[in-house]
Structure 1
Amino acid sequence: MPETVIISELDLALVNALQLRPRASWTELAPPLGVTAGTLARRWERLCGEGLAWVSAVPGREFVRTRCTAFVLLRCRPGSRADIAERLCAFEEAATVELTGPGSADLLLDVLAPDLPALTRFVTTRLEPLPGLVSVECLFATSLFVEGSRWRLRSLAPTQLSALGAMAPGAGEPASVVELDAVDRALLDALVRDGRLGLAALADQADTSPATVRRRLRRLTDCGVLAFRCDMASALSGHPVPVSLLGRTPARDIPTAHRTFAALPECRLVAAVTGTSNIFATLWVHDLSDIQRREAALCSRLPTLTVTDRIVGLHTVKRMGHLLDEEGRRTGMHPIRPW
């Protein structure tokens, strides 16, 4: 039987606060959460140690514009899916690997690459030759309107949300996209593993100074190359059911469709994609019956939207490089290097 996970209201509030402020210090978070910094540090150490929550670096808002993202649907021969999923987890291009319910796909991947040629090489030389693979369908993202770092646990009170929002740093002036050097890449590699590493630890790993680390992180986040997000095991997120919807709507209605999806609290991701369907969205719903209700509500608000496929996630074995067990706990990682 799965081990019983004891989650407190403070645990949920802490994770929600880190979704909003992933790299805030415990001293900053203590007043809004009403406990001491030491208490938060101990709680976070326990959550991380048990694989219940973690903070990591992920591609920022400009990734789709300057680099390449694709959602890849795989069909496998009977009995080969688990082996293929295990092999895929070792590929740094496969940021997320999800086993799906019976339907049009057996596996769903989020693939990240520096450019289209790199993504093409991954598909043709590493993915397609895998034994047991029957078919590969790539949906290239042309715009990404919502991604996983925007999904919220919704455990904080309005006063706590206001306090955290008030202390959030300004976005700064948008910077032009920059070429990454060895220091940038060393920082990204370290932060993919642990997004809360301090400036001194990052400086040691990148062989530079804490002041340089601070400047580099600000530049990378301002230009949209880098973002941070707090992820969690199913026990903390309420054991949601992931469902990815593929839809088709006239090009003129795509912005309206994206805004409608993005307004849903269940929305985890929404993107414009290539192919016969031009919208890809992932929702985290309460149970299977919610899928039909949510789809009906969406179609009533978006009369030109036709849902062409529904892909139910059964088990995410890798999420943004972090390996997960059947309870969604982090057990290890194969780092992503999409930059």
Structure 2
Amino acid sequence: MSELDLALVHALQVRPRAAWTDLAPLLGVTAVTLARRWERLSEEGLAWVSAVPGPAFSRRGCTAFVFIRCVPGARERVAGQVARLPEAVTVELVAPGRADLMLDVLAPDLATVDRFVNEKLAAVPDARDLECVFATSLYAEGSRWRLGSLDASQLSVLARSGAVDGATGRVTDLNALDHVLLDALVRDGRARLAELAELTGTSAATVRRRLNRLTASGMVVFRCDVAPAVSGLPVSVTFRGRAAVNDVNRLHRTLATLPECRLLAAVTGTANVLATYWLRDIGSVQQRETAVCAQLPGLEVTERVLGTRTVKRMGHLLDGDGRRVGVCRIRPW
């Protein structure tokens, strides 16, 4: 990975659908160079852009985390089966403990999650024990995570140029056109307007207008994900903890602002805080926990869930090195 590659990925984390001509002056190269770099990164599964639920989803939809204990020797097989289910947007193998798999589940409503857990997951052979907790507040998630390769002046330029013209109006219900667009953009968040127009049988202007409304309403955001070879953070750990109810809303001021934070949620259950961090090595797990608990004495860490391999992340299938190798349809909206 070159410095230009890293800068390009960071720029796309800030503005995932930016035109190459817009990013070229910022990064000091030609648009053609950026297009070629991105094509290589994408083809090698090192980085990809996709549509994901936005902040409005957390108010309308349902986010849950499911922990699965498998029959000994069956967790790889169970992970492969579960990864094909659209409700399980992320599937991670974890170090043996109380669970073998951890799932991120997104669905339009509570009833859909209930059916998923009690009918679909319960029917998976060799899935022995299930625990499901629901997010009551989502303070941080993957679309907000940044690589940290651009300087403050470059980020300022990106912020000033990132406004969407004419992006007004609320989206209360998604129509058939929206679903076709989102299915395509989950696969490739940088799909061109002309390609989307041809796919939907509409005009590029119609596609642009609908996408602007979806993003402005908060129903959809775009995010640039990366393999560990790009992030330099191969270790994923999820801390489950307990804090007084009055303290939970204050915790995010510390936990979510740490640069390694990928996910932070208040959840149901006795352990009412769940936080995922990407770290450089195993030793950093203890260091991070010690630092957090020193700053937040009211937080009791009750469990440390160490990820060993991500099988699926937000609908994208990954190999053993965390590189994207395919896409499995998700439709949380």
Q: Which structure 2 segments of 5+ residues have no match?
A: none
Select which of 21, 27, 37 maps to 1:27: 21
Q: Does residue 211 in structure 1 map to residue 205 in structure 2?
A: yes
Could you report, residue by residue, the CA deviation over 1:215-261 in whole angstroms, capped at 9, with x for unpaired residues? Answer: 11111111111010001111111143110011111111111111211
Select which of 204, 216, 238 maps to 1:244: 238
Shift of the alpha carbon at 1:174?
7.1
Shift of the alpha carbon at 1:276?
0.9
Select which of 275, 278, 284 maps to 1:284: 278
2:251: which partner in 1?
A: 257
Alignment check: 8 A CA contact 1:246 1:277 kept: yes
1:156: which partner in 2?
A: 150
Corresponding residue SS for 2:33: helix
Corresponding residue SS for 2:55: coil
Shift of the alpha carbon at 1:136?
0.5
Alignment check: 8 A CA contact 2:237 2:307 kept: yes
1:270: which partner in 2?
A: 264
Alignment check: 8 A CA contact 1:171 1:222 kept: no
Could you report, residue by residue, the CA deviation over 1:123-144 in whole angstroms, capped at 9, with x for unpaired residues? Answer: 1111012111111000101111
Alignment check: 8 A CA contact 1:65 1:142 kept: no
Q: Does residue 90 in structure 1 map to residue 84 in structure 2?
A: yes
Q: CA RMSD in A?
A: 1.4
Alignment check: 8 A CA contact 2:243 2:300 kept: yes
Corresponding residue SS for 1:135: strand
2:58: which partner in 1?
A: 64
Alignment check: 8 A CA contact 2:82 2:91 kept: yes
1:296: which partner in 2?
A: 290
Shift of the alpha carbon at 1:301?
1.3
What's the TM-score once normalised by structure 2's chain length?
A: 0.97
State the alpha-carbon separation in 1 of the partners of residues 254 and 47 from structure 2: 29
Task: Please show how residues 42-61 of structure 1 align to structure 2 within 5 Å.
Answer: 42-61=36-55
What's the TM-score once normalised by structure 1's chain length?
A: 0.95
Shift of the alpha carbon at 1:162?
2.0
Alignment check: 8 A CA contact 2:317 2:324 kept: yes
Shift of the alpha carbon at 1:56?
0.3
User: Kindly tell me: are residues 296 and 31 of structure 1, through their superposed partners in 2, closer, same or farther at Cα, counting changes over 3 Å?
Assistant: same
Alignment check: 8 A CA contact 2:135 2:268 kept: yes
Task: Please show how residues 1-339 of structure 1 align to structure 2 within 5 Å.
Answer: 7-169=1-163, 175-339=169-333
Could you report, residue by residue, the CA deviation over 1:253-276 in whole angstroms, capped at 9, with x for unpaired residues? Answer: 111111211110010010111011
1:3: which partner in 2?
A: none
User: Kindly tell me: are residues 86 and 209 of structure 1, through their superposed partners in 2, closer, same or farther at Cα, counting changes over 3 Å?
Assistant: same
Question: Aligned AA for 2:255?
Answer: F
Corresponding residue SS for 1:62: helix
User: Kindly tell me: are residues 171 and 204 of structure 1, through their superposed partners in 2, closer, same or farther at Cα, counting changes over 3 Å?
Assistant: closer
Corresponding residue SS for 1:292: helix
Corresponding residue SS for 1:111: strand
Corresponding residue SS for 2:236: strand
State the alpha-carbon separation in 1 of the partners of residues 60 and 144 from structure 2: 20
Corresponding residue SS for 2:271: coil
More displaced stretch, 291-300 vs 32-41: 291-300
Shift of the alpha carbon at 1:102?
2.0
Question: Aligned AA for 1:79?
Answer: G
State the alpha-carbon separation in 2 of the partners of residues 177 and 138 from structure 1: 30
Alignment check: 8 A CA contact 2:164 2:212 kept: no
Shift of the alpha carbon at 1:211?
1.1
State the alpha-carbon separation in 2 of the partners of residues 269 and 299 from structure 1: 17
State the alpha-carbon separation in 1 of the partners of residues 121 and 236 from structure 2: 24
State the alpha-carbon separation in 2 of the partners of residues 173 and 335 from structure 1: 27
Corresponding residue SS for 2:29: coil
State the alpha-carbon separation in 2 of the partners of residues 241 and 81 from structure 1: 19
Shift of the alpha carbon at 1:205?
1.3
Q: Which structure 1 segments of 5+ residues have no match?
A: 1-6
State the alpha-carbon separation in 2 of the partners of residues 103 and 171 from structure 1: 50
State the alpha-carbon separation in 1 of the partners of residues 168 and 98 from structure 2: 41
State the alpha-carbon separation in 1 of the partners of residues 295 and 166 from structure 2: 36
State the alpha-carbon separation in 1 of the partners of residues 81 and 167 from structure 2: 42
Q: How many residues align?
A: 333
Alignment check: 8 A CA contact 1:172 1:222 kept: no
Q: Identity across aligned pairs (percent)?
A: 60
Shift of the alpha carbon at 1:113?
0.8
